[in-house]
A and B are shown apart, each in its own frame.
Chain A
Amino acid sequence: MRALLLSAVVLLFTCIKGWTQQTIVVTGKVTDEKGAAIAGATITPKGTRNATTSKDDGTWSLQVKPKTKLIISYVGYESVEIEARPGLTIALAPDVKSLSDVVVTGVGVATNRKKVPIDVATVSSKDFAPSVTTNVQQALDGQVAGANIQQTSGTPGAPFNITLRGINSLDGTQPLIMVDGVEMDNLNNIDPAVVDHIEVVKGPAGGMLYGAQGANGVIQIFTKKGMLNGKFSVNFNSKVSVDHILTGKHPLISNHHHFITDANNNLLNASGNIVTKDATGLWSDPQVPIATAPANAFVTNDKTYNIPTYDHLKQGFRQALTFTNSVSLTGGTNTADYAVTASQLNQQDVLSNAFSRTNFTVNLGLHPFKGFIFRTITQGIARYQNLLAGNRFNMLTDYNFVDFTWKDPTGHYPLKTINSSTQNNPLSENQWHHQNKQTLEIFQDFDFNYKFPRFVELDVKYGLDYNNDQGNNYYQVQTSNLQYAKYTTYWGPSPNGALLDSTTRNFNQNGLYSGFFRTDWQKDFHSNLPVATTTEFAYDYRKYAETQYWAEGIGLPAYPPATISGATTKTAGDYYQSSVTYGFLVNQTIDWGNLFGISGGVRSDYGSAFGAAYKAATFPRGTIYFRPSELMTAQQPWLRDWKLRAAYGAAGIQPLPYDRQITLSSPTLGNGVALALASQGTNDSLKLMKNYELEIGTDATFSPFEGEWLPRLVFSGSYWHRKSQDVYQNAQVAPSTGYATKLDNLSTIVSHGIDLSLDASVYNGRNISWELSARWGYSRAITTKIANGQDIVNFEFAVKQGQPVGLFYVMTPLHSVTQVGADGKTPIIPAAKQGNYSLTSTGDVVLNGDNYVQYTPSNDLSVVGHAYPDFTSSLTNRFTFFKKLFVSFQFDWIHGNSIYNVTKQWLYRPTGGTGGQGGESRDLDKKLTIQGQTGSFVNYYNSLYDVGLAVSPFVENGSFIRLRDLSIGYDLSRYVAGSKAIKRLTITASGRNLLTFTKYSGLDPENTGAYDEGGNDLSKSRTGAFSGVDFFGTPNLRSYQFSLNVGF
């Protein structure tokens, strides 16, 4: 049939030829590298807009002038340029890196990747791991060398820590997020289904174009877009995911105890009675042997319970289901292209309730006249959730014999299960507290682009990001609760009920006006020199505005409905914030053919939040690239492309909008409002923090072998060196000045690292293909200058001059009774008393009287690890069998970081007795030898908790290798081949986070934040503390997923 068709076309071609010499009809076929038809490839006669696309069988035909050059392109494949001739069967080679031909981010103007002088990582949606379900951060995980993307919690909608190339500042690593050229506030809200590809620029060398906001790098999302004359196609994707929390390999909780029991092994309370619960579900505390009594120094944790015990993690966390559905429509006419995507995520929380998000995106491009494109991209996002924060603390620290699922006669869970703790039963909250949060976000991007016939291109982008968050928290009247009557316990601010409403509106605008002046000397000036120049002028304007209102009613009416108006006490408040920044950019690029190019530019930014609102911050940049392969390709067919590049650039990190303004705080006091000096001083001469980066790298494409093995290998590597100056810091000051801290630009951080990526087509046979991607990024950030020469300390975290950021700087147990102190000569234990101490089999010094571990004093701390990894890496393998069966897996490997395990330290806390809680670490079952005796000695373990400070035994190796994704897909298209409606049908089964290899003893090495011993969040304290502390969080999820993809 095909042959017949082809012959017919050839015949036709011959006829036409006979009639006219003006145009010819060319036909052909587009296939992939193995000869399979590619439908939807674009065939464009060079210099015209008269494109066509290939049909389902890959064939196409086009009427062109003779000798016209045709450009044949298809997403994910390398474009081919060839002179038009009949019967043109073109096999496109896959672009192994799955890169777009051009990049935009960090270079200002769409630039052919071959000429890009900086390290821009591109991640196509095709490369997203099949198990990516909820957000874009998951999709980026492991795809970008040097990007550490840490999902710190399995709670739906929880934020991610994104660090591009290590630590730049003491107050965060959040990169600039852009969508289709303009800034967007919240990456969390974007559904992966709307994404076409993502570009990541990791630092100021590329981020300089973004001036005062670019120092932490840029992540730019490009939404799906249709094609001129594109075929109308519909793609439907549906996925279900079954999620459980990760529970690690090591059980956390001991199932033994050391409580005082009677002859029948019953637990006894302080009054000598058998431990029992009262009518409200509150248990009395079992008695514990007194730690300090010499007779009890060797109490062991080896008794078994004679009453049932429960796994509280199982009682608290459940299996959750997540559903995602998306449908996208793409296509185009000869003057317009369009893509419409609608998607919905419904995600149950493993702890309680649910989260949902609906995204609707329209990307419409109008091409009304030659050279002009008007593009409008609209994203509407609606989020709803009724999640409660939950409390894993009590799941682990309550007595094993407490049954969380027990209900009192009124059907309520007891709020308080043990009298010694102020922690509450996590299941109880849902019965009294209801939270609802709704978010509506409208993100609109207009882009006008006009390319004059020669020299000049003008581009105007305007984006607005409107975000409206509404939430309420409703606490029921709880005076009827049995436990309220007896123990005055209640959820929320009052037993009489409370209702809190809040609305936050963000309205951010970003305008970008660019003009480009281009010359091509050969074409424009008939010069012999292959010189092309681009001059870019740009003006960038950003305005951020936030408005917040809240109201609270306490003491709700005894009858519905619950309203703030009906409450006995009402309070309300408001907050407004806005900031403006604008900047000018001039950038000049000169290319010598494809051989080399240089560029240089400067950007000046003004901002309301820095430089006293009138002084500009100026950022220089320069780049250079050289492509030796241009000179040697002919002789070296194995080296298809080789580029050397270097870039230097500066960019900034903005302070908070009002950090430079000195104001008084104005708290409500009783019926009045007071004014007071702020506790944390601001600074009217605050400068913009600047970061300077030098990046040197190379990109190369090899074709080592001609055959099926290793036909293609793409390597990219960069070395970078950065210096952050005027780093913001809430520096501690002498309290006698009246302030706790004062904000200032005091420190300098110098960092360097290497990013490597490798994409290989390992085997490309007729029926089997194997592709491999590897990513590796090393970084190290050193604080070279520190405020006042004084260490910055923040519980377990410290910043010390000359040392890496994110140190764990803690007390260590003495390892010898003669150990000397900080002065290097005085024994910590006076010589006369050393006989009272001995060394345990674990190598720690204990006091003989009570077996308590002895520590260095708090003025003699040691660095025992750091919170941020030395390197992050990933390895992805993709196999295709018979073009139908797809198997892929991705491993992520994070290495060299430590975790401070506060959760474990709490589980070493003395249990039983008043205030003693109940859960204790499984470690307490471990035996050790002290003073010649061997056993699981409770005092030894308890004393490791009880020092009240951060100590080294809880600093653990946080390195891990995780099987991030394992997927098997099958293309069922051939079973529906007869159907007119369905064109493609694929089913995929995948698993996420199925395996973790780690020495870390907690539930999940990724589930860390920046917390002190009490769980207070340190991440906003501007002390370089961002993650690395395990504090009772909700671990990440192990998910099993099934998805269906249908193309119409």
Chain B
Amino acid sequence: MKKMKKLLYILSTTLLLAACKKTILQLPNPNLPTPQSSLATEGGVDAFAMGIYYKWIAFETGDGNTNFFDIAWYMESNMGDEDFTPYSNYGSRYPMNIASITLPAPYNTVVTNPSGFANNLAILENFNSRSAGDGNSIQYEWDCFYYVNAQANTLLQALANPALKLSGDAATRMKLLRAWAYYWKGYAYSKIGSMYLAAVIDDSPDSTAKGLTSNVYVVHDSVIGAANRNLEQAASIFASITENSDYDTTFKAIIPSFNVANHVITPSMWVRQIHSFEARNYMANHKVATMSSSDWTTILNLAASGMLEGDYTLQWGMAPAGVPDLTQNLGFLFHPMALHSVSGGLSFVSERLIQDIQPGDQRFTKGFEPYPTGTVVNVLNRGIQFGTRYAPVDIEKGGLYATENFSSAAVVPIAPTWEETALMTAEADIYLGNTDAGLQLIDQVRASQNAGLPPLAGSGISQDSAISQLHSERRIGLYLHNVSWYDARRWGITAPASAGGGRIGNIVVPGSLINQTAAKVLPCFINYDFVDYWDVPQNELDFNPAGAGSAPVKN
């Protein structure tokens, strides 16, 4: 018994002493790297450079991590009326709050939007509050690209750390990484400046590390200015790089494999893409109706040094099973080609897109089919713009624009392409009176996409017809290139009818509106009445109110 007592004392004393040291409290998170340890290594900065893509995925209270990039993308597709999303998830349907649709004679019925909001500004403003939670449509694009900007700022800070030693041709690798960071800052400001009335310019890593951010909101043109400055900075670095194997190695390390990593974008391709980007920024933010020939010449000049056929761009693809490719969240496949597939079911193809395709275009024949479960009509009674007879055919079944099963062919460009560059040039050419030069470029784009349409060049069609062909080609040739909203805005289609906006578009009119039992497609006058630039989201303003000297932050 005495032995036992002794043993007990020894045991308890030992345990007590062993468990008192403060060193046992040092339990670093074994799952994740710290910025200090990882960003001082080459592998770390490479991975962090790739992580810019992951900033598409962000936390939304209640929803957890969600793909903000794709939400912003399809909202632009909706406002560009190439697809439509009739559901309220993420406030998806509000940007496409079409003010009114007028049925043709003999009906002449004016159907206003069932939301009760006069136009999309009214509904977007109604939901522009933190109380609206994930229903605030306009937060996604803002948030996503500021997150991207913050990551790029932090990357530049990490690259300036003298402790960071890169291998091989360190100078080339460093230049590529720096140019990459500036490019993405330019990308982020391009998106924000082309969408919001005003925004903040924040190039300091302190905004992230210390929670400090600029409170001076500048007007959207100045944001585009900041975009172009960063893009130019990237271009000037790219221009100083000679491609070698170290460049290729780093490039492949920083671009996700589903972005077609085997296609190394060479420094000169980067420079050309940046010029195309600048051309897009200029074009997207100028209305055709007010553009002078000098505006068109600016575009022509930028596009002339822009992308060539065969140049690679950044693409967003899908990985097998989708797990590591930014598409899987919450039961939805977040990818432009998945959300509007039949089983994706969140978005649909717009009747107006189909209407704008030229008869005989093989891209229609191969790309679209009648909606398998029957014509989609006035989804949820939320507006007759939410109807279609068509679904995109899955790539797995020989289609072009949709997938339900992670096809590796399901890629969309996330930056300008040579087709877009060619069509920008074509548009400038046509407006500057060089119609045939423009038509040649349209033919070139059509041929590359196997449209199977007869050539336009030399056909002697009028400038108006050429513009109409150009519009048609931008609709289908750049379908899912994330430019349809810019086009709709600058062509004046989404302006209020009172300001000359609107168009005649096909609408699947429910039978009960025309005293019939079956729905019927009728050419109706669509008065979109979309605001040109969105307000600054309230989730920014609540925590970062506009300081002195700020541009207006609301329409």
Contact = CB atoms under 8 A, between A and B. Distances in A.
Contacts of A264: none
Given A419-B373, A486-B372, A493 B321 contact: yes
Contact of A268 (B33, B64, B109, B517): B517
Interface in B366-400: 372-384, 386-387, 394
Given A271-B375, A272-B516, A674 B51 contact: yes
Interface in A724-745: 730, 732-742
B111 A292 contact: yes
Interface string A846-864: 0101101010011101000
B12 A460 contact: yes
A580 B18 CA distance: 13
A126 B24 CA distance: 44
Contacts of B25: 580, 606-608, 613-614
B92 to A, nearest CB: 10
Given A606-B22, A658-B29, A740 B373 contact: no
Contacts of A666: 32-33, 47
A217 interface: no
B511 A793 contact: no
Interface stretch (A240-248, A323-331, A1016-1024): A1016-1024
B323 interface: yes
Interface string A754-794: 00000000000000000000000000000000001011011
A290 B510 contact: yes
A794 B20 contact: no
Given A915-B86, A942-B381, A667 B324 contact: yes
A667 B67 CA distance: 14
B502 to A, nearest CB: 18
Most chain A CB atoms below 10 A, which of B24, B109, B112: B24
B250 interface: no
Contact of B47 (A513, A674, A915): A674
Contacts of B330: 1016
Interface in B86-131: 86-89, 91, 94, 109, 111-116, 126-131
Contact of B114 (A260, A291, A569, A916): A291
B114 to A, nearest CB: 4
Contacts of B404: 488
A757 B165 CA distance: 70
B47 A675 contact: yes
B169 interface: no
A541 B15 CA distance: 10
B88 to A, nearest CB: 4
A539 interface: yes
Contact of A794 (B38, B44, B62, B512): B62
A290 B378 contact: yes
A270 B16 contact: no
A571 interface: yes
B518 A271 contact: yes
Interface in B520-542: 537, 539-540, 542
Interface stretch (A281-289, A705-713, A966-974): A281-289
A942 B380 CA distance: 10
Interface in B245-297: 253, 256-259, 261
B23 to A, nearest CB: 10
Interface residues of B, number: 136
Interface in A665-722: 665-677, 679-680
A460 B16 CA distance: 10
B216 to A, nearest CB: 11
Interface in B1-30: 1, 4-5, 8, 11-12, 15-16, 19-20, 22, 24-30
A1011 to B, nearest CB: 8
B51 A664 contact: yes
A260 B512 contact: yes
B405 interface: yes
Nearest to A681: B211
Given A271-B519, A488-B404, A614 B22 contact: yes
Given A269-B374, A674-B54, A909 B380 contact: yes
B540 A541 contact: no
A597 interface: no
Contacts of B375: 270-271
A942 B387 CA distance: 19
B200 interface: yes
Contact of A861 (B115, B131, B147): B131
Contacts of B139: 735
User: In which size bucket is the chain A interface?
Assistant: 35 or more
A561 interface: no
A676 B326 CA distance: 13
A664 to B, nearest CB: 6
Contact of B50 (A672, A735, A736): A672
A861 B131 CA distance: 8
Contact of A664 (B35, B143, B150, B383): B35
A554 interface: yes
Contacts of B29: 657-658, 661, 663
Instruction: Classify the interface of chain A: helix, strand, loop or mixed.
Output: loop
Contact of A554 (B132, B202, B321, B381): B321
Contact of B374 (A284, A576, A794): A284
Interface string A498-527: 000000000000010100000000000000
B512 A670 contact: no
Given A419-B373, A674-B48, A858-B127, A571 B516 contact: no
Contact of A679 (B38, B65, B134, B382): B65
Nearest to A677: B151
A448 interface: yes
A578 interface: yes
A260 B513 CA distance: 12
A560 interface: no
A192 interface: no
B142 to A, nearest CB: 6
A915 B5 CA distance: 76
Given A287-B510, A677-B55, A736-B146, A271 B543 contact: no
Interface string B307-346: 0000000000001111111100011000000000111010
Nearest to A369: B1
Interface string B135-162: 1000100110011011101100000000
A359 to B, nearest CB: 29
B62 A737 contact: no
Contacts of B154: 677, 738
Contacts of B345: 422
A596 interface: no
A664 B86 CA distance: 36
Closest 9 CB pairs of A and B: A738-B150, A670-B257, A272-B518, A419-B373, A676-B51, A272-B517, A915-B379, A734-B544, A663-B32
Given A614-B22, A676-B48, A676-B55, 10 more contacts: A290-B513, A487-B342, A555-B321, A657-B29, A736-B146, A736-B202, A736-B540, A790-B543, A915-B379, A1014-B89
Interface of B: 1, 4-5, 8, 11-12, 15-16, 19-20, 22, 24-35, 38-39, 44, 47-48, 50-55, 57-65, 86-89, 91, 94, 109, 111-116, 126-135, 139, 142-143, 146-147, 149-151, 153-154, 200, 202, 207-208, 211-214, 253, 256-259, 261, 319-326, 330-331, 341-343, 345, 372-384, 386-387, 394, 404-405, 510-513, 516-519, 537, 539-540, 542-544
6 contacts: A291-B381, A489-B343, A734-B543, A737-B208, A740-B60, A946-B382
Interface of A: 260, 262, 268-272, 282, 284-285, 287-293, 296, 368-369, 372, 419-420, 422, 448, 450, 458, 460, 462, 486-489, 493-495, 511, 513, 539, 541, 552, 554-555, 568-569, 571, 574-580, 582, 606-608, 613-614, 657-658, 661-677, 679-680, 730, 732-742, 788, 790-791, 793-795, 798, 809, 847, 849-850, 852, 854, 857-859, 861, 909-910, 913-916, 942-943, 946, 948-949, 1012-1014, 1016-1018, 1021, 1023
